[in-house]
Structure 1
Amino acid sequence: MELQNRQKVKLVRNPTAEEKKIINEIKRKTEQLNENNITRTKAYLDFYKKHPEIHWAFLAHMVSRNGGWSMTDLKAELLNRILSKEEKKSYFSFLERGNWLIFQDAYPQLLLYEESMKRKESLFRLLPHMNVSVFMETIWEHFWKTSNSSLLTVGLIINEQHYIEKRVIQNQKYIQEVFHTLEFEIQDILSFNQILFPYNDYGVMKLAGQTVNQFESVRERIQLGKRLYVILFDPDVLNKVEEWAIEQYHTGSRKDYWPHIFNDVHEGSPGLKYQIKLSSCKLKRGARRIYSPTLQNVWKNIQHPEAETGEWFHDIRVLEYLKEIEEPAVGNIEYEYCQTLEKLELAAFAKKIISIFD
C-alpha cells in the first residue's frame, strides 16, 4: 500500500531553490498568523472563504472559536471565582499550546495546497520538509486526485489529534497540572464539555454541537471530531453557521453569540458574592449579564518554544479511523450547555466546586 511504502521513505531529496522559497514563505506566513487564538481563528476562516472545498478549515475555525471561549472563561465571572491563579495559568497554557501546535502543523498544509492550486501541480512532496506526517502527504495526494473533501477532513482530524497526543495530552506538565486536578476530572466546571456552533435560524439564535467526553483518549477525540464534522456540514446547519461566523468577528467573549446573557464589560462589582442570574438560560428579572471578557483584554500573547519533532504515524491500524460515522449525530446542544451554565453558577455562588454534587 502507498502509505506503508511512504513510511519507509523519509526526505527523498533536498528541495530545489524554488521549493525552498515556497517552504520559507509558508513558514513565515504561518508564524505571522500564529500569534494568538484570534489570529489563528481568523486565518482558518479567511482560508475557507477562498477554498470552501477544504471543509476542515471551517471546522477548525469553529472549534478554534470554542478554544478562545474556553481561554477567556478562565478570567470570566464564573470560573474566576472557582479556580486559583495558578490553575488559570495552567489551563490557559494547556489550551494555548494545543491551539498553537495544531495551527503550526495544519496551516502550512493549507498554504501548500493553495500554492499547488496556483501552480496547477501537486507540491505535497514538500510536506516532510515542514515536519508534517507522512500520513498527511498520502491523504493530500489522494485529495488532489479525487477531490474527496470528506476523507481529507477526517484525515486532518486524525492527524491533528495524534499530533498533539504526545506533545500536549501525554505531556507530564499538563498531566500533573491539568488532567490530575479535580476540576478537569469533573469537566463540567471547565466548559470544555460542549463544543458550540452558533447560528441564526429565522431570528432565533441556536446552538449546534457536541459534548466532549474522555478528552484524554485520542480515539474519543477523533470520534468527536468526526461527529462535529457531520453536524457542522449538515445542509440545514452549514450555511447558517457560515453566515453567523462571517458576520460575527471572533473576540473570545461569549457575548459573540449570546449578548443577551454575556457582556465583555463587567456590569457589577467583582468582589461581591456571586448572585444567581440565570433560570433556564434566561436572565432573571433585574439581573445583570455575566462577564465574559475578550481575549485581548485578559491574556497576553505567548512566545512558544518550537514544536517537538517526531513522526506519529507508526501503526497502519490508524486507517480504521477513516471509516465514515455509522449513525448521524444529534446536534442540538443548547439544553446541555444551559445545564453547564447552571452548575457553574452554583459553584461560583458557593465558591466550592463540590457543591455542584450536593
Structure 2
Amino acid sequence: MTKQAIVYEGQDKNPEMCRVLLTHEIMCSRCCDKKSCGNRNETPSDPVIIDRFFLKFFLKCNQNCLKNAGNPRDMRRFQVVVSTTVNVDGHVLAVSDNMFVHNNSKHGRRARRLDPSEGTAPSYLENATPCIKAISPSEGWTTGGATVIIIGDNFFDGLQVVFGTMLVWSELITPHAIRVQTPPRHIPGVVEVTLSYKSKQFCKGAPGRFVYTALNEPTIDYGFQRLQKVIPRHPGDPERLPKEVLLKRAADLVEALYGMPHNNQEIILKRAADIAEALYSVPRNHNQIPTLGNTPAHSGMMGVNSFSSQLAVNVSETSQANDQVKQKSAFAPVVRPQASPPPSCTSANGNGLQGSLLGAEDAAVEKTNWPFCEVGGIFHFDELMLKKGTGKLCLGW
C-alpha cells in the first residue's frame, strides 16, 4: 500500500470524463438528460447512505484515466478515500476496504469510519475509557421523549448511549457531556445506562441509572384520584379534570402554602392532596371554633360577593394602610354543599388549623402560625401580619 493517489492522465476532451472513478449518472445518456433509468441498481451509482457512518457506492474505473489502459497483470489493491484535500497522506475522513481493481472493472464497496480503537485513533483514547458520572435529570415518565444530559469523561463522536437494551440517538456536546432523548418504556422502574461504540460496551461495571415513573402507578394514580375530589373547581370545568390541570392547580396550592416548589413528583402529589383534603374535606370541630360573640372585638371588615352557589369573601385589616399591605390571591371559589353549616369567624394565631391538617409533612404549617383567611377557596395573605405572627382566621361555606 503506497498511499499514493491515482490522478487522471488522459486527454482533456470531455470535462465530465476527466476523472478516475465514474458513476452511472456520468456514463448514462438518459441520466444525463434527467430521464428515468432502470439500470441504477446494476451499474455504478452515487453513494447510498446506509447509516450514520457507512456509505455504499458503485463505481467504475475510467479506462482512459491511465496511460497504460487495459487490464494490468498485477491487480493492485486500491482503496477509495474521502478527504478534504487531494493529499491522502494526512488526515482522511473515511476509507474503504481493500479491493482489486481492473481498469475496466467496477466494485461495490462501503466507506468505513475510522475506528478510535484502531491505531489511527488519537492517543488519548487508547488509555482513556468513557465513563458515566451523572445523569440529569435522573428520572422521567415512561412515555419517553425527555431530554437528558449524560455527564462523564472521555466521550467522543460516535459514542452511543444504551438505556437498558435500547440503543438511542445521542448528540455529543463536549467530551464530558452527551445529550440524548429517553426511549419509551412499557413498565416503570430503574434501568441501567451504559455506553457503546460498535461492538464495545463501556460502563458495564459502573453504569448510570435512570428511573422511569408511570402516571398510572398505584401511588401516583391514587394521588390523582384524591386531587380530583378536592382540587378547587372553576366555572366550566369538565367532570374529570385532565391530569396536567390537576398538577398545575396542586402546584399553585403547594407554592402558596410552602413558598417553594419541590422537584419530587410523588411528594408534590401527596402534599397537595393532603393540604387540599385538610382545607376542603375534613370536618371542623365547632367546639374548637368559638362564636363571634365570645371573641375580642374584630377590627376588620368583611364583604361577601355571591356567584351562583359559590362564596367569595375578602377580608382586610382596616388598621393597615393600603401602601403597607400586600395581599396575594391565587385560587378560585369552591362549590360548597347546600347543607353546609353557617360561617363563623374567630380570632386565632393559626391554632384553629391544628387537628385538621393531615400527615407529619403538614406540621410546618402549624409551627409557623401563619394567619390567613380562607373562605370558599379564596386565600389572602397579609405579609405584615405574617411577620407579626398575628391575624384573623375566618371560616365560611
TM bracket (short chain): under 0.3
Judging by fraction of residues, say which structure has more strand: 2
TM-score (norm: length of structure 1): 0.17
TM-score (norm: length of structure 2): 0.16
Point out the structure with max Rg over C-alpha: 2
Judging by fraction of residues, say which structure has more helix: 1
